[in-house]
Amino acid sequence: MTASSNATHLRKTLKDGSFSLVDASLNETYHNWAGAFAEAMGHYATPALALLEKAGHSLECLRLWDVCFGLGYNSFAFIQAFLASPLLGKVQTLEIQAVEIDGSLAPLWQEVLAQAHFSPLMQAFQVSQVQTAYGYLLSFQAKDASFALPDVHIHIYIADALAVLPQWLETQASPVDLIFHDAFSPSKVPHLWSSDVFKVYASVLNPTHGGILTYSLARSVKTAVESAGLVWEKLPPLGWKKGAMLVQRPNAGSTAAHL
């Protein structure tokens, strides 16, 4: 793992060759040492797709919330993995709402996508990034119209997640299929791992197949999840992490349970 720095962030190249950052104020790396791309695939994209494939539904619109968007790896990895999944052709629109408090990360999103890890994604789509009143819009336009690719948009709100989530809750007309929760660790930002946050998620999550993916297995997070009336399942380990967590509403389509 190599490192370099600038005035804002300490930058690191991780084991899988992808780059990440260290937040100077928290002294915490954005990603697992195994790799930013590896973590995005192992803890978010792969289990999310497995959950949806198991449900077996065709969805006109697949809705995803990406909370603490950061460098964008989780959403980007999900879109790329989606293109190689049995769900391709069954979803017309992939709509992602994301929130990230640090607007200085915006110039790095295209750099993340330019890495070799995302070559399949960039071969399929032309990605535009425009500034909006709320933050940024990333639009993915198919390069070859003969392929049945979904319309893909990521609306990235530059704001405090705790301020944005209640607004999303009020305006969310349809259930959310997936939620990626990727805040800094519970010991550093406990307010982003409270039962109130998971209660918001519980109220919008699709009751039959919806799932929340997060990297933390901390006891405090399990307690917050359970206090919100949700159940959880441990996912396989990666790098220094003993595992990740899939969270669902009770009686949803997975095997999620208190372990």
* Tens digit of each residue's pLDDT (9 = 90 or more) over 63-88: 999 999 999 999 999 999 999 999 99
pLDDT at residue number 7: 45
pLDDT at residue number 145: 80
The model's confidence at residue 2, banded by pLDDT at 50, 70 and 90, is very low
Q: What is the mean pLDDT of the chain?
A: 92
Does the structure show a pLDDT above 60 at 254?
Answer: no
Of 6-15, 114-123, 127-136, which range is least confident?
6-15
Tell me whether residue 158 is in a domain.
yes
pLDDT at residue number 192: 98
Tell me whether residue 59 is in a domain.
yes
Q: What radius of gyration do the chain's Cα atoms show?
A: 17
Q: What is the pLDDT of residues 144-189, one digit of tens each?
A: 887 779 999 999 999 999 999 999 999 998 999 999 999 999 999 9
Cα gap 216→223, rounded to integer Å: 12
Tell me whether residue 89 is in a domain.
yes
pLDDT at residue number 30: 96
What is this structure's pTM? 0.94
pLDDT at residue number 1: 39
Residue-range definition of the domain harbouring residue 120: 2-248
Does the structure show a pLDDT above 50 at 129?
Answer: yes
Q: What is the mean pLDDT of residues 205-228?
A: 96
Does the structure show a pLDDT above 50 at 112?
Answer: yes
C-alpha dihedral over 238, 241, 247, 251, to 10 degrees?
Answer: 70
Tell me whether residue 257 is in a domain.
no
Q: Report the SS3 class of residue 162.
A: helix
Q: Given strand 125-131, what is the order of strands in its sheet?
A: 125-131, 135-142, 151-158, 91-100, 59-67, 178-181, 211-214, 244-248, 231-235
How far, in Å, are 26, 174, 222, 253 from residue 207 at the CA level?
A: 36, 11, 19, 9
Tell me whether residue 253 is in a domain.
no
Does the structure show a pLDDT above 60 at 249?
Answer: yes
For residue 193, the domain's CATH number is 3.40.50.150
Q: What is the pLDDT of residues 10-44, one digit of tens each?
A: 999 999 999 999 998 999 999 999 999 999 999 99
Does the structure show a pLDDT above 80 at 4?
Answer: no
pLDDT at residue number 13: 96
pLDDT at residue number 239: 84
Residue 38 near residue 16 (C-beta atoms within 8 A): yes
